[in-house]
Amino acid sequence: MSSGPPLWVIPALPLGGFLLTGLLGTRLGKRFVTAVGLGSVALATVAAYWRLLEYVFQVPSRSGEFSFHPVTIVERVSDWVATSGFAADIAFRLDPLSALMISFVTFVGFLIHVYSTGYMAEETDAGYARFFAYLNLFMFSMLVLVLAQNFLLLFVGWEGVGLCSYLLIGYSYEQEYAASSGRKAFVVNRIGDYGFLLGMFGLVGVFGTLDFDRIFRSAAADPARFAPALTLICLCLFVGATGKSAQLPLYVWLPDAMAGPTPVSALIHAATMVTAGVYMVTRCNVLFRLAPEAMAVVAVIGAATAIFAAVIGVAQNDVKKVLAYSTISQLGYMFLACGVGAFVAGMFHVLTHAFFKACLFLGAGSVMHAMSGEIDMRKMGGLKRKLPVTYATFLIATLAISGIPPLAGFFSKDAILTAVFGAGRPVLFGLGLFTAGLTAFYMFRVVSRVFEGTFRGTPEQEHHAHESPRSMTIPLIVLAALSVVGGIVGVPPLLGGGDRIAKFLAPIFLSIAGRPEGRGAELLSSTEWLLLGASVLVAVVGLLLAWKWYAKDDGRVPERIAAAFPAAYRLVADKFRVDELYDAIVVRPFVALARFCWKVIDVLVIDGVLNAGAFLVELAGDLLRFLQTGNVRNYALGFLLGVVALMLIVMGGM
Amino acid sequence: MIGSIPLSDVLLASAALFCVGLAGALLRRNAITIFLSIEVMMNAANLALLGYGAALGTREGQILVFFVIAIAAAEASVGLAIFVALFRHTETIDVNRINLLKW
């Protein structure tokens, strides 16, 4: 049926790259690592796009209108788990959703690999090889995650990306902070994964399988039978999503994940891995739609995370930290969309966010590169003359994330806000709108502090500051271009677009038996215009305010505000002290429990029992040894007594 | 010949002999005397074997006795050699004074 490469080739290529660079990279040097690490991802991208184009344009339409064949291609590679009661295959799936995911995972991944060749060029041979091996392993895991045909294989990718995240955050493991941040990310993710596992157990219990098609079809065909169990299952799955996608209350690992090299932050902690939760929820849209309570939780958590992280982002001075909180906030947007049933808007935002957030992170990396690793924006300023390309791309991506038309972020953010409003959730809509303003504000604060004004660092830094090599600027330019035009796939009918992404993704939304179709109330076009205007207005207000306060007045107004409310400012700057809270209510009791297990259970009980046993044996020996008198006649008497005793026993037994 | 004596008499004689040997082995302190007492006990066992063999009309009792005598001879040579070596070392064969191997 298909002339392209089989689907398993797409993840297998980076896996091969991982093995080659991981096993031989240190010995063969950087050129080899670059060739293999970059080449494997490039080939995977080619393979993915081959299949994608073939898939999308399977049925050419006469009118030239965008059309495709809404089938799901499942390619089974082999058996995996095969017992009498339960079976799971290694099988890959190409449907509109996974097609959308691999389109940007491979492409953005490739760009970030290119960027890394420049960014990591000064590392040692061993470090360089290790870095690319991990990146390739990440690409493999992520592609398995999005191409999997059942929950079990998805979980393999899910855990794989978590592992790579841990390895790459702790890339500079000699530094205590990097190592402990990696550990934190891993542990927090494990908590979420536990929920995901419980959700999978629930699915096996209810449906007897983990195959996507079978679960979704049976759920859609007989909602009355399955709906009661699904609320709990969906909540468990969502716990997994909050861990992986850094939502309240499990978001705490993502800001610390910025200890990893910047390309890692861009690839894993902004563009791809953290969107896995949104992908999973969208993949399970049938289940979530049958569990309205779970949907409500998703929406509320998403909105709360969006505003919470945006507020924290306003008061951070570390460029990457601002971007991290911005990522958390934008992920909150995506979950908000999913929670009100606008899965398409959520996935659309995943796509556009991948472009502009990767661009922002890579831009931040470029600034760090120029500033010899400096990351505090209080010590920057006026860099737009030194770094023209970085400045231009960063500005475009900032405009995109702020939702300024006609950039990509505008369309996706507007789609989400419209959907939330249309779903009749005015409070959530208000939060989302306010967050949009905050987003524009804190992002323009970064632009103003870093690129505008006068330089505030040391003279050496100023002298050293230079534009990054071409391997770094070209990905920036490509990503900035995508941030401009990426929205084109989802232009709503209101603005004369076809909302192609909604048509494209339509087949993944199975219709549920006995439930009317429809995606919420249709809004009047005047209402839609109003919503659109409102979202642009708050973005522009936030943007201009940040521009005036930080670029023109050099931050005096915010300083006065901070001085007027010192307690509130400290609270926000300290990230609401959530880390401290978790430390007090989770980490410390846990450490105390561990110490209890060590000092009491292990040392006292286990060692005590063992030592007491040994002591008793020794004591018995100390007493009994006096029986060994060395006198043969005593022994002979012992023999006699023994024989007499034996005879008495034998006789008595008779 | 032995067959003309009742088995109970033979066994009584054997038991008496065994008790004499046992008493000697437990009560005497001279190593050679103890050794001789042990030989007496062994011969008490031989006597019992002969008595049973005659009573049952089989030859195994007598065969076993020959084995015991042969092994006792070998044992005697080993035991006496040990006593000689012991005497050279400690100048005594009083077992109460040979008690180095203790706690």
User: Tell me, what's the ipTM?
Assistant: 0.84
pLDDT for residue A226 is more than 90: no
Among candidates A625, A632, A637 on the partner chain, residue whose Cβ is nearest the Cβ of B95: A632
Give chain B positions within 8 Å (CB) of A628.
101-103
Closest Cα of chain B to A638: distance in Å? Answer: 10
Asked if A312 and A388 sit in the same domain, the reply is: yes
Mean pLDDT of A82-104: 89
CB of A626 within 8 Å of a chain B CB? The answer is yes
Are A33 and A132 in contact by the 8 Å Cβ rule? The answer is yes
Largest Cα–Cα distance in chain A?
A: 118
A14-54 pLDDT, tens digit each: 999 999 998 988 888 888 999 999 999 999 999 999 988 88
Cα separation of A20 and A37, whole Å? 8
Q: Which residues contact A42 (CB under 8 A, 6 or more apart)?
A: A110
| Cβ pair B26:A629 closer than 8 A | no
Nearest CA to CA, how far is B1 from chain A (Å)?
32
- Tell whether A452 and A591 lie within a shared domain: no
Whether A442 and A417 share a structural domain: yes
Q: With the CA atoms of A225, A231, A236 and A241 taken in that order, what torsion angle do they form, in degrees rounded to the nearest 10? A: 110
In this structure, are A407 and A542 located in the same domain? Answer: yes
**Is residue A379 located within the same domain as residue A522?**
yes
- Cα diameter, chain B: 53
Residue A137 has a pLDDT of 95
In a domain, A390, yes or no: yes
> What is each CA distance from B87 to A288, A520, B80, B102, in whole angstroms?
99, 114, 10, 19
Q: Least CB-CB distance to A626: which of B34, B98, B103?
A: B103
Q: Tokens 């958390």 identify what position?
A: A328
Pairing, β A73-82 against β A87-94? antiparallel
Chain centroid to Cα A647, Å, comes to: 81
Kindly report the three-state secondary structure assignment for every residue of A490-523: HCCHHHCCCCHHHHHHHHHCCCCCCCCCCCCCCC
CB-based contacts of A371-376 (< 8 A; 24+ apart in sequence): A371/A457, A371/A461, A371/A464, A371/A465, A372/A461, A372/A464, A374/A457, A374/A461, A375/A318, A375/A319, A375/A320, A376/A317, A376/A318, A376/A319
Please check whether residue A295 lies inside any domain of the structure: no
A363 close to A393: Cβ distance less than 8 angstroms = yes
Collect all residues of chain B within an 8 Å Cβ-Cβ radius of residue A631: 95-96, 99, 102
Q: Identify whether A265 is part of a domain.
A: no
Residues of chain A neighbouring B100 (CB-CB closer than 8 A): 630
Tens of pLDDT, residues A590-641: 999 999 999 999 999 999 999 999 999 999 999 998 888 888 888 888 999 9
Q: Are residues A462 and A533 both part of a single domain?
A: yes
* Nearest residue, CB atoms, B99 vs list A625, A631, A637: A631
CA distance B94 to chain A (A): 11
Summarised one tens digit per residue, pLDDT across range A243-269 is: 999 998 899 999 999 988 999 988 888
Domain that holds residue A646: 582-653
Non-local (6+) Cβ contacts of A587 within 8 A are none
Q: What is the pLDDT of residues A334-356, one digit of tens each?
A: 999 999 988 999 999 999 999 99
Report the pLDDT value the prediction gives residue A63, as an integer from 0 to 100: 47
Structure-model confidence comparison of residues A304 and A490, the more confident one: A304
- Asked if A601 reaches chain B (Cβ–Cβ under 8 Å), the answer is no
Between chain A and chain B, the number of residue pairs with CB atoms below 8 A apart is 30
Q: Name which of A628, A633, A636 is nearest B102 (Cβ-Cβ).
A: A628
Q: What domains lie within chain B, and their CATH numbers? A: 2-92 (1.10.287.3510)
| Closest Cβ opposite residue B26 in set A629, A630, A633 | A633
Condensed to tens digits (0 to 9), the pLDDT of residues B5-25 reads 889 999 999 999 999 999 999
The average confidence (pLDDT) of chain A is 88
Q: Which of A573, A602, A627 is a domain's end point?
A: A573
A12: in domain: no
8-state DSSP, A275:
G
Looking at the 3D structure of chain A, how many domains does it have? 2
A633 and A567 co-located in one domain: no
B94, β-bridge pairs: B30
Is A373 domain-assigned?
yes
B interface with A, Cβ–Cβ < 8 A, is: 22, 25-26, 29, 34, 95-96, 98-103
Would you say how long chain B is, in residues?
103
Q: Do A630 and B100 touch (CB under 8 A)?
A: yes
- Assess whether A469 and A551 both reside in one domain: yes
Spell out which residues of chain A touch residue B98, defining contact as CB-CB under 8 Å.
632
* Contact residues on chain B for A630, CB-CB shorter than 8 A: 99-103
